[in-house]
Amino acid sequence: MSVVGEIRPSQLLFTYGMGSLLNLPNYSAVILGVDSWEERLATPVQEERLLQVVRQRLGEQVRFLSVPPADPEQTTGGYGRSKSNIGLPLALFPQYMVCQACRRLAPVDGTLFKFKEHRFYAHEDKYIHDNCHKTNDPALIPSRFFVVCENGHMDDFPWQYFVHRGNSDCQGDLQLLGQGSDISMITVKCKTCKTQRNMVDAFNLQKQVMPRCQGIHIHLSDQSKPCDKQMKPMTLGASNAWFPLTLSVVSIPSETDSELDQLIEQNWLTLLPITSIEILKAFRDAQHLKPFYTYSDTLLFTAIQNYRERQGSTENQDPQDLKQHLLTPEYRVLSQPGKVKNSEDFQVVEEPVPSAFAGLIEKVVLVERLREVRALIGFTRVMAPDHGDPDSQPVTVGPIAKSAPRLVPASEVRGEGLFLVFNQRALTAWIERLQSEESHWQAAHTQWRKLRKYPEPEAHFPGLQYVLLHSFSHALMRQLSLECGYSAASICEKIYSLPAEGENPAQAGILLYTASPDSEGTLGGLVELGRKERLGALIEQALENCRLCSSDPLCAEHPLKTGNQVSLHAAACHACLFAPETSCERGNHYLDRTLLVPTLSREEWAFFDV
């Protein structure tokens, strides 16, 4: 049975990361920054490629990636109180709470409300209204409203400012009157001056009734700082109050065939302090080098130094090189399964391409075993980040720590996958026919980034080839989830679509894989559906489903731009191509099924005209 307040490590990166809100039985809380973690209790996650990119984003002081501190010997049962304080630190938020009996609204740090801790059961902890005139010790509930700004700040709702329509000498007792899900039914009232105001006014964009942001990061317990943004009201549970900014890699074997190099990569956190033969000998005497007992001190130290030099070569790379650093090694290994040595976390085998698609799909690779590592490097509020491009970041990213972090939250999951490589000649010929359409996508991409105040809004356009691969990925993902038994949210995608650069050839591939932290990620059904005798029929059915959507003709004729509004998807909706947020690397952007097959609106753009 789960402990109250228990979350999975993977939820730390998608739902309950630093600065997000967690609903508990009797109150809500904000997850504090990594400064508050017990570093000695954190479990390191080994993935050097990802660590290098994280350091490029957050600084060279980052020592390691880590899953959050956890108690491996949790002795509580069900709702019992933990005997240890290991875990994620929290802080009460919002600070304003409401008495359910008299509707009194006040902060809990005053004298009116008290905290009542249950002796045995953590889920019974609550705040009460002491000496309430309505009933005896009624329980409090969190205020439903708080404020955020686009710079990542968050604060309690300015109740006194709001009800008095600005700064006022009256600081009387407040009541939050009314109930129901509609905010028009909620009114805040000052008992002293009898002023009251409906909460609808707070969400009226024309009135601009909110004050300027105070520049407070609640999760870092810091003081207010200058901020030029306007506060925006939110309700508890609002989906745009916190968006994670993450980076991920698929663990791959070292490109060398050396078993020693692979061992060094797997144990790099242990070997990192070894800078001399003397230190190496001390480590060996302390039994820290058991995996290397067959290697001499000289050979091992030379290999460590060579590995250190290779890692250091990425420190001064520019952002585009970092994108290549993440994707290119994975694509190279996945597209050449016969040249790579399988490992405990990575096993691939090539499968013949279905004959019906031999001219369009060049290679099919079954990924029988893989490991994905993901790191949380920040968050945004109000506006979602561009999830799929590691080089593209919003102007302001909410910090995960008050000072430069020494560790960064991460999670690792294992599963299986299916990798498809597309024929580059067929793609090039197809793109040449659609030059005008690519310019329309470029214009929409630029306008979308301008509205979100991204630097260089015209940059980081993934190209029409990416839109095609991404649309095909979603179509096949939906069909696979129907056939293999995995839920749609358990299948993730990774799109490899980069132009040739230097010694790196052009990339055109998709990886569909399971990345679930539970047993559902390793059932084996995805690999089985990648066999030649089954994959061809699945692709045909996926494409057939894209020809007609239940929302046509509205879906088929959906424009990229409508006035000043940019959707960044064309013929795509929840009925045909959209995927769960955790499955899509681009937040359901850059999708258009008219690029795959003929639809009601277009026939001449289809790449798959089968």
Range of 59-63, 518-522, 539-543, 563-567 with top mean pLDDT: 539-543
Whether residue 321 contacts residue 52, with contact meaning beta carbons closer than 8 Å, is answered with no
Flag whether pLDDT at 569 surpasses 80: yes
Q: Kindly report, residue by residue over 256-283, the tens digit of the pLDDT.
A: 557 787 777 767 767 878 888 888 888 8
Which pLDDT band holds residue 235 (cuts at 50, 70, 90)? Answer: very high
Flag whether pLDDT at 96 surpasses 90: yes
Flag whether pLDDT at 1 surpasses 50: no
Q: Kindly report, residue by residue over 349-394, the tens digit of the pLDDT.
A: 999 999 999 999 999 999 999 999 999 999 999 888 776 565 566 6
Tell me what percent of the chain is helix, strand and coil, each rounded to the nearest 5. Answer: 30, 20, 50
Instruction: Write the CA distances from 188 to 7, 154, 168, 194, 410, integer angstroms.
Output: 34, 21, 16, 10, 42
- What is the secondary structure of 114-160 as a DSSP string? EEE--SSBGGG-EEEETT-SSSSSPBEEE-SEEEE-TTS-EEE--HH
3-state secondary structure of 587: coil
Q: Kindly report, residue by residue over 29-79, the tens digit of the pLDDT.
A: 999 999 888 887 788 888 888 888 898 888 888 988 998 877 655 544 455
Which pLDDT band holds residue 570 (cuts at 50, 70, 90)? Answer: very high
Please give the mean pLDDT across all residues of the chain. Answer: 85
Mention every residue, 6+ apart, whose C-beta is less than 8 A from residue 401: 18, 33, 34, 35, 220
% of the chain exceeding 90 in pLDDT: 37
Q: Kindly report, residue by residue over 151-198, the tens digit of the pLDDT.
A: 899 999 999 999 988 888 888 889 999 877 788 889 999 988 889 999
* pTM, two decimal places: 0.84
Flag whether pLDDT at 571 surpasses 70: yes
Q: Kindly report, residue by residue over 323-340, the tens digit of the pLDDT.
A: 667 888 899 999 988 887
Q: Kindly report, residue by residue over 510-525, the tens digit of the pLDDT.
A: 999 987 665 554 556 8
Report the pLDDT value the prediction gives residue 209, as an integer from 0 to 100: 74
- Arithmetic mean of pLDDT, 484-495: 87
Report the pLDDT value the prediction gives residue 417, as an integer from 0 to 100: 92
Q: Before 394, cis peptide (omega within 30)?
A: no
Buried b vs exposed e over 537-571: b needs ≥16 C-beta within 10 Å?
Answer: ebbbebbebbbbbeebeebbebebeeeeebbbbbb
Report the pLDDT value the prediction gives residue 455, as an integer from 0 to 100: 79
Number of other CB atoms surrounding residue 198 within 10 Å: 15
343 or 240, which is more confident: 240
Whether residue 493 contacts residue 510, with contact meaning beta carbons closer than 8 Å, is answered with yes
Where do we find the tokens 């504090």? 32
Domain residue ranges in the chain: 252-312
Report the pLDDT value the prediction gives residue 391, as an integer from 0 to 100: 59
Number of other CB atoms surrounding residue 73 within 10 Å: 7
One-letter identity of residue 432: E
Report the pLDDT value the prediction gives residue 463, as an integer from 0 to 100: 92
